[in-house]
Amino acid sequence: MVDLPYSLVLTVVLAYELACLVQTLLHRFVGHRPTIPWIFVNHTQSHHYLYTELTFEQTAYQNGENSVTYTFVPVVTLLDAIAYWLLPIDLAVATIATIMLTFAANVYLHLHYHLKDSWLLRFVWFKKLKELHCVHHIDQRTNYGVINLVWDRAMGTFASATPRSLRANNA
């Protein structure tokens, strides 16, 4: 077994949580509020228009969506630059890799939440996250986190996936 330095493990965990927090905050305060109007309009009138509670799952991800995923690039770049500037090189590399992989996982899993036949449906953890994301499409004031809802719990925006809340999707 490889002994990883405590500082490296701690750095990866903190970088992951930071990336999840930033994603959750951006989704809540930029994607669902007119803080930056063109992002708000693209997100709410494209993504949430195409994937309503009744059309949450599709056989293929919709090409007509005006995605705002690229808007994460400046934030990720800034976080990576700060890590590079503040941390020793080994921890900076670990932080940069973790942040980039976390944002990539957000995008990848989010795409699969909207696919009826995703290969990821074989995993219980994925089904649970997909249900929680469906709740977000039913009530857009909840569940802004895509892969980690710890920050929704902390902000009071978490909503569980109860049978009642998912009834519209299963009709």
With CA atoms as reference, report the closest residue to 110 among 22, 41, 138, 118: 118
* Distance from C-alpha of 144 to C-alpha of 139, rounded to nearest angstrom: 10
Tell me if 13 is assigned to some domain.
yes
Tell me if 38 is assigned to some domain.
yes
Tell me if 102 is assigned to some domain.
yes
Full domain range(s) for residue 125? 6-170
* Distance from C-alpha of 37 to C-alpha of 114, rounded to nearest angstrom: 25
Tell me if 99 is assigned to some domain.
yes
Tell me if 28 is assigned to some domain.
yes
89 pLDDT band (50/70/90 cuts)?
Answer: very high
pTM over 0.85: yes
Residue 1 has what pLDDT?
55
Tell me if 82 is assigned to some domain.
yes
Tell me how many domains the chain contains. 1
Tell me if 1 is assigned to some domain.
no
With CA atoms as reference, report the closest residue to 7 among 81, 88, 103: 88
Instruction: Answer yes or no: is pLDDT of 57 > 80.
Output: yes
Q: Is 153 exposed, middle or buried (0-12, 13-18, 19+ CB in 10 A)?
A: exposed
165 pLDDT band (50/70/90 cuts)?
Answer: low
pLDDT tens readout for residues 107-154: 999 999 999 999 999 999 999 999 999 999 999 999 999 999 999 999
